[in-house]
Chains A and B, each alone.
Chain A
Amino acid sequence: MTSLAPTTPWTAGAKDDYRDCPVTTLKVDMHSERLIIANAVMAVVTLTLGGIAALLIALTRWQAIHLLPAAWFYRLLTLHGIDMLVAWIVFFEMAGLHFGSTVLLNARHAAPKLAWTGFGMMTVGGLMANAVVLIDPNSSVMFSAYVPLKAHPLFYLSYILFAVGALITVITFFINIVTAKREGVLKGSLPLVVFGLMTAAILATYTLLEGAAAIVPAFFWSLGILKTYDPGIYRNFFWGFGHPAQQVNLAAMVSIWYALAQMTVGIRPVNEKFSRLAFILYLFFINLGSAHHLLVDPGLSFAWKAVNTSYAMYLAVLGSMMHAFSIPAALEIALRAKGHRKGLFGWLRNAPWAEPGFSSLVLSMFLFGWIGGVTGVTIGTEQINMLVHNTLRLPGHFHATVVSGTTLAFMGFTYYVIPLIFRKELKLKSWAKWQPYVFGFGMLLTSLGMIASGLQGVARRNWDITFAGVVPGTVEITLAIFGIGAVLAVIGGIMYVTIVLVSILTGPRLEASNLLLLTGTHNPIIDSTKLTDHQMEDKQNQPKGALTLVFIFLVWFAVYYFTNWWLLGRTWFIN
């Protein structure tokens, strides 16, 4: 692999090399560069597989089209879950962990061999899972593989390989940080973005250990070595893996939000203590949300359900609400300091909406918070969950969080990874300008269509809802909205993959010369270092607009929440 910039050994006689990034002045360890590239490539490959499945599935649930036969629908639905929730997003996060523990700390990668082993296991596990599901008709068990549904032993083995590989990568993240501290490269606290990624890494450790606890016995059960496996216990451990995996996505996404905000607008965190406290609330309480999947399960007490589903008094939700103010507030202060002070929202109107990193940031925050977050907390309320469990409202919620939220933010961030790490010029820039909007709007319709269908009782993971009897015309409409939204989102996904492939496969290797892609030659990261304490505290720069936005959000939250209690009150009595 030829490198343009001259590389320098970390110490005399060392075998590894680094280069100096001309745009950010950060040191990039060549091991990190290669590891980030490898993980990013596998991320996009698995996203593409999952995206093809997504299109075919959506065109099947859109009753008017009803494309696939039943067996293929269930098979591709299994694949879609695995490729998106397990493969795409975790590969991207591993790239982020390598980036955060080395490049952002100006530190060397202290465990490249271990990291490559992890990557190898993840790749073998991910590809094997795809192969098993495509080849073995009995392995269409959905990503959740609920015991006593039994898949081929290789299905469970592929999960185990992937999870162990990811855990090894997470361990290298910690090795890098400890090494940087020990070698005096990291003095003082971690930068906020790295602190957030560290939160993700800690949550990922719990996630992957839980995955082992769920899947390893399932593997032996599929071989006949373990005679019985209580489904209730499986569900406890599986969702101890499955939901925290989403919290890893949340922590990583929020970290990327702070990064994108600094890269496109040049923010300074309003208050480090405030933001870090929010991440710590995630660390302590967010894994308890695994209980969301078990709220209408037999055998579990009211107290357990209430305490866990509320993330211990909703303290983890508080963490999210804190970031929901902190990031827009930082954007507002930075933009007001530049002179955009007209009215309550002049700063927002003058923000760089044409910059893909900014539009993906804002759309991701809005869709994640207003749709994903509000629906999540509401349907995670113990009693309200009876109206929701396993209806299409559930995928409606999590597509707003994982796809409109995390995936969209990751897509936006990729556009900067390409010039800065792949060291290729970003092509199809006009596509990149529009892609977040196309994808975001498509996913908005998808989520709304699913939620509206679920409110009418349409089941998830169901090939054909007409078997349930007379299906009201309104269901046909809402499923069509879901279908149309999905097609639009897939177009947005195709745009993303095309931009990425064309950029990395064509054209010469080129050192990046500009941070922003479309909105200027200034360097927002350098600008952020010039924001003075005085400017941050200046009365004219205070984030009243951001505060207004979060208050409006709270009103919307309350309306949605109370509507659901009202709906519950109208059903049969049950206890």
Chain B
Amino acid sequence: MPENKKDEEPQPIGQKIFDNIWLLFVLSLLISTVLYNVWGIIDLMNVPFAK
């Protein structure tokens, strides 16, 4: 197995993305907050008053 050759190859871009803790952190919190919290509270705020 040509170990040396493998080690010299640049990291695949996918691996770099999977290794980026901060990107994953921000996306995780952003998606959850917008789709679940923000949208949900907007729904509640839009409940009309009884006639």
Contact = CB atoms under 8 A, between A and B. Distances in A.
A236 B38 CA distance: 10
Interface in A187-214: 189-190, 198, 202-203, 205-206, 209-210
A291 interface: yes
Contact of A280 (B1, B18, B29): B18
Interface string A221-239: 0000000001011001100
Contact of A284 (B1, B21, B27): B27
Contacts of A285: 31
A287 B32 contact: yes
B19 A287 contact: no
Given A209-B29, A304-B43, A312-B35, 8 more contacts: A189-B18, A190-B19, A202-B25, A273-B18, A287-B36, A291-B36, A300-B43, A308-B40
20 contacts: A189-B15, A190-B19, A198-B21, A205-B25, A205-B29, A210-B37, A232-B44, A233-B41, A236-B44, A244-B32, A273-B14, A280-B18, A280-B24, A283-B24, A284-B31, A288-B35, A300-B40, A300-B43, A300-B44, A312-B31
Contacts of A301: 43
Nearest to B32: A287
Contacts of B32: 206, 240, 244, 287-288
Contact of A206 (B21, B29, B47): B29
A300 B44 CA distance: 6
Contact of A240 (B19, B24, B37, B47): B37
A42 interface: no
B40 A304 contact: yes
B28 interface: yes
Contacts of B29: 202, 205-206, 209
Contacts of B15: 189, 273
Contacts of A300: 40, 43-44
In order of increasing CB-CB distance, the 5 nearest A-B pairs are: A287-B32, A283-B28, A299-B47, A232-B44, A236-B40
A294 interface: yes
A299 B27 contact: no
Contact of A189 (B19, B28, B31, B39): B19
Given A288-B32, A304-B43, A533-B1, A236 B37 contact: yes
A290 interface: yes
Contacts of B41: 233, 236
A177 interface: yes
Contacts of B39: 304, 308
A287 B44 contact: no
Size band of the A side of the interface?
35 or more
A398 B1 CA distance: 48
Interface string A340-364: 0000000000000000000000000
B24 to A, nearest CB: 5
B17 to A, nearest CB: 9
Contacts of A429: none
Nearest to B16: A189
A307 interface: yes
Contacts of B33: 206
Contacts of A283: 24, 27-28
A61 B28 CA distance: 40
A297 to B, nearest CB: 9
A66 interface: no
A298 B46 CA distance: 12
Nearest to A181: B21
Contact of A202 (B1, B28, B44): B28
A34 interface: no
B42 to A, nearest CB: 9
A294 B40 contact: yes
A276 interface: yes
Contacts of A202: 24-25, 28-29
A177 B43 contact: no
Given A273-B14, A312-B35, A284 B44 contact: no
Interface string A250-285: 000000000000000000000001001100100111
Contacts of A298: 47
Contacts of B43: 299-301, 304
A464 to B, nearest CB: 34
A447 B14 CA distance: 41
Nearest to A207: B32
A283 B44 CA distance: 26
A554 B43 CA distance: 35
A129 to B, nearest CB: 25
